[in-house]
Amino acid sequence: MKIRALLLFSVFSLFSQPSYSTVYDLPAKAGDRVIAEYPNEIAVTRAEQNETLLDVARRFSLGQVEIIRLNQDLDRWLIKKDQVITLPNKRILPDSPHVGITLNIAEYRMYYYSPNGKVYSFAHGVGRQDWKTPLGRTTIQKKVKDPVWRPPESIRREHAANGDPLPEVVPAGIHNPLGAYALYLNLPGDYRIHGTDVDKIFGIGMQITHGCVRMYPEDIDALFHMVNEGTPVYIVKQPIKVGWLDNVLYVEIHPDLEGEETTPEQRVASALALIQKANHDELPQYDEAALKEAAEKQTGNPTAIYTRVLSPEEEAAEAALLAAEAEKAEKANVAPPVKPIAPVAKTTVAPIAKFAPKSKTVATKKPTVSTKVTAIKATKPIVKPPPKPAATSGYHKP
């Protein structure tokens, strides 16, 4: 068994525009469920000034829980200049149809499967323990720009009890908790996928709403203009995901939501059931230490636990299948489903060995690692957002 070592790093500069959703190609091989921006590398950034992990999350349109779990050894409130921060690279697609939108509330992340063959991934907030976001299949019932919020009586009572009374109607504007765009779901209870106001911008990627799904302003803007009314929406809760990429099996484990508590042993047991299912109902000779560490740390980062070794005949059959899929895509005047490698940025530096993760290799032969260092988000400049305006009193809290 071989475990692929991810030892390459890219360190890049911050530019002058905000970051938006991450866009992925679907895996080239049918049945694979792991998507990646860049192959064989870990994505990182280096702080150019003292800041917080929340600032980093905002700059890269990541959720709070996500950035904190990926950087458990760092102080979320004080990231010093030149410190290296780990960013997500690979993700395992949720176990749901690859059409429309899938919201995986366990990872505070949604996936939009566009008709153009791309997958758009966005961070989002979900309902807190006493206002849970409902699960199941639904559709987008209507789209509203500059929505007006009419808070339910239950929410008005809650705010009044906290000394923050709400009006019966909150007009559109920068202090409207629905933000500038709202996608109304075909569910009882007036549930929406919506933006956020300036006072709640740092609450994305947390269990904090009254049941709705809250997004960054630029992300809901993009999603709003990509989807149509009637688009299917699948709301799932999958804290543990398993998937293949190029004959390597990965597991991805996220922390429990509020009000739920599982032990590492329970998480391993759940993961094993999914691993067996993904491997034709047979449990492979997986890396037990890697799975145990993933269950304990719950970083949400896909961990390679098994490499499938193909016979020469199987390799030839797989190559022929990929070639056939590429030819079919070319005939349909669509680019083959293989993600190009971004050009090397001028700001890339040599690998930083001290930040390399521990390799779980158990093979007698060291796996080959590409020597190319690719640029991260080289096609879209990134910047720290402008300073957060001072909060004003009144009805801005949903």
Give 141 or 42, the one with higher predicted confidence.
Answer: 141
pLDDT recorded at residue 327: 63
Q: Does residue 184 surpass a pLDDT of 60?
A: yes
Provide the H-helix boundaries in the chain: 53-59, 64-70, 153-161, 217-226, 264-278, 288-297, 312-331
- φ, ψ (nearest 5 deg) of residue 81: -55, 135
Domains, the chain, in order of start with CATH, read 9-236 (2.40.440.10)
Active site residues: 194, 212
Distance CA 218, CA 124 (A): 12
pLDDT recorded at residue 168: 61
Measure CA 63 to chain center: 8
pLDDT recorded at residue 191: 84
Distances (CA, A) of 176 to 27, 127, 172, 389: 39, 18, 6, 14
The rounded percent of the chain whose pLDDT value lies above 70 is 63
Residue with the two structure tokens 């209507």: 142
Could you give the 3-state DSSP secondary structure of residue 9?
A: strand
pLDDT recorded at residue 281: 94
Are the CB atoms for 219 and 132 separated by under 8 Å? no
Sign of CA dihedral 327, 333, 334, 335: positive
Q: What is the pLDDT of residues 225-240, one digit of tens each?
A: 999 999 999 999 999 9
pLDDT recorded at residue 165: 65
Residue with the two structure tokens 């079919």: 328
pTM of the model: 0.72
Q: Does residue 259 surpass a pLDDT of 60?
A: yes
Give 384 or 68, the one with higher predicted confidence.
Answer: 68
Mean pLDDT for 61-77 is 91
Q: Does residue 293 surpass a pLDDT of 80?
A: yes
Nearest alpha-carbon partner for 172 in 147, 151, 195: 147
pLDDT recorded at residue 393: 32
Q: Does residue 19 surpass a pLDDT of 70?
A: no
Q: What is the pLDDT of residues 146-182, one digit of tens each?
A: 888 766 666 666 656 666 666 666 777 777 777 889 9
Q: Does residue 397 surpass a pLDDT of 80?
A: no
Between 288-297 and 264-278, two packed helices, what is the crossing angle to 10 degrees?
Answer: 130
Q: What is the pLDDT of residues 89-130, one digit of tens each?
A: 999 999 999 999 999 989 999 999 999 889 999 998 875 444
Give 18 or 272, the one with higher predicted confidence.
Answer: 272
Of these ranges, 14-23, 197-206, 322-331, 371-380, the one predicted with the greatest mean pLDDT is 197-206
